[in-house]
Amino acid sequence: MLNNYPSFTISIDLELAWGFWDKLNSTHLNNVVNNERIIVDQLLKIFEDFQFPVTWATVAALIDNKNKMTNIFDKNAWYAPDIIEKIMKSKTKHLIASHSYSHINFNENSKSIIIEDFEKAEYFFKTLNILPDVLIFPRNQVAHLEILNKFNFKFYRSLDKSWYKKVSKHSKLFGKVANIADKIFPFKTNPIKPIKHLNGLIEIPSSILLISRNGFKLPVTNINMFSKIKKGVQRAIENKECFHLWFHPSNFYYKEKKQFELLKDVLRFVNSKREQGLIDIKVLDQYVT
């Protein structure tokens, strides 16, 4: 079995407005421009305080000064080398993963278009001396796996296999409702095991999303979320598995203070287990055989 030692890992999708380029709305664009940098700064400070390395899944177009979206709304929503530089200069050694060049739809595009996107990502990451070996699929659409090797990718994230994901396969709306119900009620949150595939790729499923706290997600509370994550981490320790938390900086746009309190509670808890020698903190390319 891979990595027969309990571990905890965080992956963060850094995409700014690229995450919703095909359904733009001014509220979200304003949030990106006004909040994203402040949130990333706070995240970096927290990770430094806790000496906690994480994986930043980065959209490579954020490094491209002339990307095709820079004239829309505000360049700062589409171009952000300043953020990537801060991550790279952080005292905590984080990992930069690829989140594709332009957050394209992997399910709907042909192999040649995906290859072109990967080539562009590779080019722009190289300008910062980054050679990512981890791919986080845009929209978590795991597809075109057969070309990953060509682009140096050895690891990829997949979505957790929780019950509400299964609901989502049948109906998107029920899936959304079930996702929120999952965060409100104390259902089990599972630790995961990295899976090594025959082609050599290592799949790392996620355990839970640090869900946003706006609109109909308001009934989600810190107490429930913390209890779910804590139990999941404890189960990871018991089963010698991994607990994988993921989110976007945009998941902190609403109820920001509460979200940061929750994140700090989680890190404090995991840190206490690390200090007792019970769990390792890893970035995604450390899940090697």
- Tell me the window of 11-19, 28-36, 110-118, 238-246 that interacts with Zn ion (CB under 5 A): 11-19
Q: Is 64 in the site for Zn ion (CB under 5 A)?
A: no
Q: Is 241 in the site for Zn ion (CB under 5 A)?
A: no
Q: Is 194 in the site for Zn ion (CB under 5 A)?
A: no
Q: Considering only residues 6, 16, 19, 132, which one is a binding residue for Zn ion as defined by CB under 5 A?
A: 19
Q: Is 13 in the site for Zn ion (CB under 5 A)?
A: yes
- Coil vs helix vs strand at 25: coil
Q: Is 117 in the site for Zn ion (CB under 5 A)?
A: no
Q: 158-184 in b/e burial notation, b at 16+ Cβ within 10 A?
A: bebebebeebbeeeeeeeeebbbbbbe
- Interface characters, 127-156, with Zn ion (x: CB under 5 A): -----------x------------------
Closest to 279 (Cα-Cα) out of 209, 269, 160, 134: 269
Max Cα–Cα distance, the chain, nearest Å = 52
Which residue type sits at 175?
Answer: G
- Tell me the window of 15-23, 28-36, 85-93, 209-217 that interacts with Zn ion (CB under 5 A): 15-23
Q: Considering only residues 15, 36, 64, 182, which one is a binding residue for Zn ion as defined by CB under 5 A?
A: 15
The contacts of residue 229 (CB under 8 Å, 6+ apart) are: 189, 208, 243, 245, 266, 269
Q: From the CB of residue 86, how many other CB atoms can be counted at a distance below 10 Å? A: 14
Instruction: Name which of 15 and 36 has its Cβ closer to Zn ion.
Output: 15
CB of 103 to Zn ion, least distance (A): 6
**Angle in degrees, CA 251, 104, 57, rounded to 5:** 45
- Tell me the window of 9-17, 32-40, 79-87, 174-182 that interacts with Zn ion (CB under 5 A): 9-17
CB of 30 to Zn ion, least distance (A): 19
Catalog residues that contact Zn ion under the rule CB under 5 A.
13, 15, 19, 138
